[in-house]
Structure 1
Amino acid sequence: MLPFLLLLLPAGMMADLTSDRAALLSLRSAVGGRTLFWPTAQQNPCNWSGVQCDTTLNRVTALHLPGVSLSGQLPLGIFGNLTRLRTISLRFNSLSGPLPSDLSSCIGLRNLYLQGNRFSGALPEILFTSLRDLVRLDLAANNFSGEISNGFNNFTRLRTLYLENNKFSGSLPELEIPKLEQFNVSFNNLNGSVPKSLRSKPKESFAGNSLCGSPLDRLCPSKEDVPPAISVDLRRNRKKKNGLSGGAIAGIVIGSVLGLVVLLALLFFLCRKRRSSLKNGATKLTDAEFLGEMQLTGSNGFSLDAPATSSMMGGGNKKLVFLRNSSAIFDLEDLLRASAEVLGKGTFGTAYKAVLEGGMMMLAVKRLKDVTDSEAEFREKIEFVGAMDHQNLVPLKAYYYNKDEKLLVYDYMPMGSLSALLHGSIPSPSLISNNVV
């Protein structure tokens, strides 16, 4: 009876899932890491760790392999078969070499997380014409080089673009991406002025380059930098050169040079004073406005309210602090907009499951209570905990310290609690293999 039913299935569906399995086995052979533990005896790859499938399409649609010690190069031919992938997460591994050009076959790709590897070379131009549905693109902390292509403008749905800590060079093109919210090109080899379309981004997004212009404090050189009065005087001096003595000409030149030096010194003093006032005034106002909007609400009523009082302004960091090799792919604002549900309550506080906006990531957030340590004592203890590295421990990802609020952030691991494991209530293999980005 079973062989007869198999004959009734569409041949294309079986062939597609078979080709997906073959591509995953090619990936397993090409790179080292924990993919070696895939149970290859199973014909259905949907049960393998890190692999997700769409039961309707009967295809592999997500590949989540973050921090599993992958090494080596991604060969051509793998992604040419995995054409229904919507999410690829290979972050925090040791993959190297260029990006394979057949990644362009994944035309439905929404999320691509490759940060924290050793990829190198220029980005293949074919990606800019094929992956038009990208929403999140994180290539930070690699060795990519070449110029930043204006082909990024083809990604009209892009909300996140992280290119920091690479070796990109040249000038920044005008990137008019209507939905772009998160952007960072810091610590590359870029030069020139910041394009008009990107001047609304924070100046930290451009740090560590040779860029100039707004929003940076460094002014771009231009013809207007020379005062008009001095320019006119120099032209008149040149016209009267033949009618003046050598001493008069020397006096005019020296006077003009001294005037220019005094003017430049005055401009330098004013710029430093303006920079100081911005740091001491505008930053505090921004922090106050930001802290006044802190609110996290969820299906079970979890909320975090931190009004911008003067006591909180001196209470510690106003941002999430990321530990070890964790990359800041989200910030406090993203966390505060997340939906949340209570996982449990304990002696030291309440644990929540937080789902970031758009479902791009699930986190476990521990909200501590009755913690009276100073910021220095709290940071010392947290950094000690964050330094622990064991295969059975979920590493601490980030923390937030404030006079009234202390949060610990972990990757959400949907494998049940320690109590469930000790007393036999172990989740099904399908839940264990359902890793999150």
Structure 2
Amino acid sequence: MEDSSSSSSWRRDRGVSDGPAGVQKQVRHQRRARIGSGCWGLLLALLVTMICGASGLNSEGLALLAFKRAVLDDPRQTLSDWNQGDATPCNWTGISCGAGSQSVEQISLPRKRLLGRIVDDLGNLTNLRRLNLHDNAFFGSLPADLFGSSAPLLKTLFLHNNNLSGPLPASIDRLVALQHLDISNNGFVGDIPPQIAACTRLLTLLLGGNDLSGPIPEGLGSALTSLRSLDFSSNRLSGTIPPDFGNLTVLQLNLSSNQLQGAIPASLGNLPDSASLDFSSNNLSGPIPRDGALANQSPSAFSNNPGLCGAPLATACAPSEAPSPGAASALGPSSPSPAAVTMRKAGLSTKALIAIVVGDSVGILVIVIVFVYCLRRRSNCQKPKKRYENGNGNNSSDNSASNSQSWGLGCFPVSKDGSEASEKIEQGELTRLDSDVKFDLEELLRASAYVLGKSGVGIVYKALLEEGVAVAVRRLGEGGANSFKEFEHEVQLVGKIRHPNIVSLRAYYWAVDEKLLIYDFIPNGSLAQALHARTPDSPVSTPLNWAERLKIAQGAARGLAYIHACGGKHKLVHRDIKSSNILLDVDMEARISDLGLARLQNLAGGSVIAPKPAEGESLSTSSAPSSIQGLSGGLGGSGGVGRRGPPASDQRISPSASYYPPEASEAKKKATQKWDVYSFGVVLLEILTGRSPAMHLASAEMDLATWVRETVEERKPISEVLDIHLCAEISKLESEFMEALQIALLCTEPSPEQRPTMGLASHSLEQIGRKLEICVSE
């Protein structure tokens, strides 16, 4: 009994009951124990998985997390998806990796309002090619170790518009592949490091708006020969302008608002003629050299330098300061040549000495003439030549035949192989032509895009950027790889032109397989659409009244007159004025578009149907006409272009051809500004009559200018000429209609000499409503 009692007690202590109930309870207890141990095992496995996942983030991801920890404020939560649990950072906001790899090639976080420091851990990104942190609030110095193992591959460094400070690190010389450096508008101090000369592939070097001091390092001009844009403005730089800057090929050089002293080196005249230079607000002195690029600058480029004198400033130079007229007179009239001095010591007569001096001068003059001739031959040889098919006027680039060989023409051998130039060109970079442009390539590529239209010069898109800004983007050809320098020259020339009645070219993008032009977006379409293609959904859905038409005509005239005036001696010509190239902004002001587009399209490897242009045609010269298949901001492009003249029996007059003056049919006839005047006259007739420039009458086809002229000569009522939508206003405004019609007829005179200048035509339109005698230019 005792044993039995003790056994039962033992079972109770162990949780085991006698009988079937006790067995079931024991089974349930064991099952709970197994489930509990399974849950603990599962939690342990999950914990191990998380730890392993965290440790799986590669070293580049860890470097980026160190950058994130240095960001003190991220109001837009831009970095919220930068998580340690990810295996790779390639899907993080602002991060791009190489194709088929997990190696970071690009960090792009512009305008994110990030506040913090830039850490040297970014130097561990071994394949980083682009670092874009501009327009944030980063502060502190630029770490020297930032240019670590990634330095040999880094091509673009955009840190402008931050609060960075301290000196520029000398380790910048590691950036041997760097092509674009913009650290403007920060607080950097100290000297410009001379080591920057090691970055020989630089295309843009923008250091303006800092607190840099000391002299400009010697040797930059000789080392950085690929530079296209150099900006050292708004610093405290002292010393003189290095003469070797004349070796640069920059199209923009800004040294304004510093403390530079001394004379402007005459060697800067060797810069490209189209270069934009700014030396204002310094302490420069002496006469302004009047050679090459220096002779093409406005007075504002030299303003606020009390010591400077000579044209284009109003301050005249003293006789002793007058610039030397050239190398041929470098010895001066009172300084005999060394040979003359020697002969005088030998006792020669005065007549012999005079003969020797004259002979020396003639010899030097001949040498100068031969040298200038050779330079011009070399320049002509370097221009790519175009071939045009006979018969239909189509043009095709001759690059495939010419760009793979080397010639020796004139006095200098000229290489036509563009491989070296292409190596120096960053493919896929957005170049801004205006300081107001805030977007970058990444934002442009992310933008919502809508096709506005297609034409012979590519597709035009409307792109909506992040901040609601709309731009028009025109895609050009996919060739022209060896024409970059000429393309850049032309696009910079167009980009300089700013006027309220001209559509501004804001930026461009160049790559081997893609070329883009970025313009202001003009919301109300084109004049052609407003006159001939209105629909209920059109931007302008109702007929234009007389006040609106007159306003548009006056604005277009002002814009075209400005184009003709701003070129100076170069005599700029638009060459494709038509109603589809006149856009209407939100205030119904006229904006002339597509300036220089045909030339840019040809250089970009596309094709434009046009009358045969002269070889080497450029926007800045009055060369043979080059038509543009204009899509007015992508709205309402016209049809094919042909030569103006009597139509064949089986061929209609092309609308675009109706804008061409009679001289367009003459072989090898160069386009002049009077060509544009004629085209504008046709547009003015469109505005008055509401008719297409190519009229299809019952008996024949006739261009608008001829039809209006014949109608007026036949003394028919004005109501037969004017747009039917204007008839209600004719009783009150007939005199104004007649004045505008007279201007249009003068502009479309068959003889170019009988047409007014565009400035005079614009002035006459501004005076509409008054009795005005329109004088035809000589």
TM-score by length of 2: 0.31
Contact kept? 1:17, 1:59, Cα under 8 Å: no
* Residue from 178, 185, 189 that aligns with 2:225: 178
Change (3 A) 1:29 1:173: same
The aligned amino acid for 1:29 is: R
Secondary structure at the aligned position of 2:254 is classed as helix
Post-superposition CA distance 1:115-166 (Å, at most 9, x none):
11111000111222x2111111111111111001211110111111000000
1:82-93 matches, within 5 Å, as 82-93=125-136
* Residue from 156, 162, 177 that aligns with 1:117: 162
Post-superposition CA distance 1:224-261 (Å, at most 9, x none):
9xxxxxxxxxxxxxxxxxxxxxxxxxxxxxxxxxxxxx
Contact kept? 1:353, 1:364, Cα under 8 Å: no
Matched, 1:271 2:309: yes
Report the counterpart of residue 126 of structure 1 in structure 2. Answer: 171
Change (3 A) 1:353 1:103: farther
Paired with 1:363 and 1:48, the residues of 2 have a C-alpha distance of: 30
**Higher Cα radius of gyration:** 2
Contact kept? 2:111, 2:133, Cα under 8 Å: yes
Report the counterpart of residue 357 of structure 1 in structure 2. Answer: 510
Deviates more, 1:55-64 or 1:355-364: 355-364
Paired with 2:60 and 2:177, the residues of 1 have a C-alpha distance of: 21
Change (3 A) 1:270 1:182: closer
Matched, 1:197 2:244: yes
* Residue from 62, 85, 90 that aligns with 1:46: 90
Deviates more, 1:354-363 or 1:133-142: 354-363
Contact kept? 1:367, 1:405, Cα under 8 Å: no
The aligned amino acid for 1:64 is: S
Paired with 2:112 and 2:183, the residues of 1 have a C-alpha distance of: 18
Report the counterpart of residue 210 of structure 1 in structure 2. Answer: 259
Secondary structure at the aligned position of 2:244 is classed as helix
Paired with 2:106 and 2:237, the residues of 1 have a C-alpha distance of: 34
Secondary structure at the aligned position of 2:309 is classed as helix
Change (3 A) 1:203 1:353: closer
Report the counterpart of residue 119 of structure 2 in structure 1. Answer: 75
Change (3 A) 1:113 1:402: farther
Report the counterpart of residue 19 of structure 1 in structure 2. Answer: 59
The aligned amino acid for 2:164 is: F
Report the counterpart of residue 29 of structure 1 in structure 2. Answer: 69
Post-superposition CA distance 1:367-409 (Å, at most 9, x none):
534374959xx9xxxxxxxxxxxxxxxxxxxxxx9951289xx
Change (3 A) 1:25 1:322: same
Change (3 A) 1:30 1:126: same
Q: How far did residue 366 of structure 1 move?
A: 5.2
Contact kept? 1:158, 1:179, Cα under 8 Å: yes
Unaligned residue ranges in structure 1 (runs of 5+): 1-13, 225-267, 279-318, 328-339, 379-400, 408-437
Matched, 1:404 2:592: yes
Q: How far did residue 37 of structure 1 move?
A: 2.1
Report the counterpart of residue 385 of structure 1 in structure 2. Answer: none
Post-superposition CA distance 1:338-390 (Å, at most 9, x none):
xx9635479x9964368612589988545534374959xx9xxxxxxxxxxxx
Change (3 A) 1:183 1:323: closer
Unaligned residue ranges in structure 2 (runs of 5+): 1-53, 269-278, 288-305, 317-431, 441-456, 464-469, 477-507, 528-551, 560-588, 596-778
Secondary structure at the aligned position of 1:127 is classed as helix
Aligned residues: 274
Q: How far did residue 325 of structure 1 move?
A: 6.2
Secondary structure at the aligned position of 2:142 is classed as coil
* Residue from 397, 422, 436 that aligns with 1:323: 436
Contact kept? 1:96, 1:117, Cα under 8 Å: yes
Change (3 A) 1:88 1:363: farther
Change (3 A) 1:194 1:104: same
Matched, 1:187 2:234: yes
Contact kept? 1:367, 1:406, Cα under 8 Å: no
Change (3 A) 1:165 1:220: closer
Change (3 A) 1:39 1:27: closer
Contact kept? 2:88, 2:102, Cα under 8 Å: no
Paired with 1:219 and 1:203, the residues of 2 have a C-alpha distance of: 21
Q: How far did residue 173 of structure 1 move?
A: 1.2
**Percentage of matched positions with identical amino acids:** 28
Contact kept? 1:191, 1:210, Cα under 8 Å: yes
Matched, 1:66 2:104: no
The aligned amino acid for 1:404 is: I
1:140-179 matches, within 5 Å, as 140-174=184-218, 175=220, 176=222, 177-179=224-226
Q: How far did residue 42 of structure 1 move?
A: 3.3
Matched, 1:370 2:526: yes
Change (3 A) 1:273 1:183: closer
Report the counterpart of residue 459 of structure 2 in structure 1. Answer: 342
Q: How far did residue 220 of structure 1 move?
A: 5.2
Change (3 A) 1:269 1:121: closer
The aligned amino acid for 2:141 is: P
Contact kept? 1:73, 1:97, Cα under 8 Å: yes
Paired with 2:66 and 2:102, the residues of 1 have a C-alpha distance of: 20
Contact kept? 1:66, 1:92, Cα under 8 Å: yes
TM-score by length of 1: 0.53
Secondary structure at the aligned position of 2:177 is classed as coil
Q: How far did residue 28 of structure 1 move?
A: 1.4
1:281-320 matches, within 5 Å, as none
Change (3 A) 1:58 1:341: farther
Q: How far did residue 17 of structure 1 move?
A: 6.6
